[in-house]
């Protein structure tokens, strides 16, 4: 059995969704570290007027919103490109041989 062609749009959508999940995970990590380090800076007295804490909170919360969108869009575009390239190259090479049970 050979995979001779992939649906470019379905590959792009699937890739975009997977990367959006990665973006959400990374966004949560940015949030946790941003809030943690801004809190540590405030406790150490290195923060004048709480500006660092506000920046950390804003950056952390923004990361949860922006990174999934950013990763999703890039994953979609990358998936579309990979699907189109696969279809083009599979015509020349015959595709990927698979064994399914």
Tokens for 38?
């801004």
Coil vs helix vs strand at 48: coil
- The pLDDT > 70 percentage for the chain reads 78
More confident residue, 41 or 101: 101
Give dist(CA 58, CA 21) in Å, integer.
21
Q: Is 23 exposed, middle or buried (0-12, 13-18, 19+ CB in 10 A)?
A: buried
- Is residue 60 over pLDDT 90? no
Phi and psi angles of residue 2, each rounded to the nearest 5 degrees, phi first: -125, 140
Higher pLDDT, 2 or 84: 84
Strand intervals (E) in the chain: 2-3, 96-97
What pLDDT is recorded for position 42? Answer: 60
Measuring CA to CA, how many Å separate 2 from each of 28, 32, 44, 99?
A: 40, 45, 62, 8
What is the structure's pLDDT at 56? 64
Q: Which of 23-27, 35-39, 55-59, 79-83 is predicted most confidently?
A: 79-83
Instruction: Give the tens place of pLDDT for each residue, 5-27.
Output: 999 999 999 999 999 999 999 88
């Amino acid at each position: 059995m050979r995979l001779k062609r992939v649906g470019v749009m379905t590959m792009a959508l699937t890739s975009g969704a997977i990367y959006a999940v990665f973006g959400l995970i990374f966004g949560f990590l940015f949030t946790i570290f941003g809030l943690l380090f801004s809190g540590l800076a405030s406790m150490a007295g290195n923060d004048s007027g709480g500006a660092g804490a506000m920046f950390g909170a804003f950056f952390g919360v923004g990361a949860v919103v922006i990174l999934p969108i950013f990763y999703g869009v890039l994953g979609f575009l990358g998936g579309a490109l990979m699907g189109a390239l696969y279809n083009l190259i599979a015509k020349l090479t015959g595709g990927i041989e698979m064994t399914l049970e």
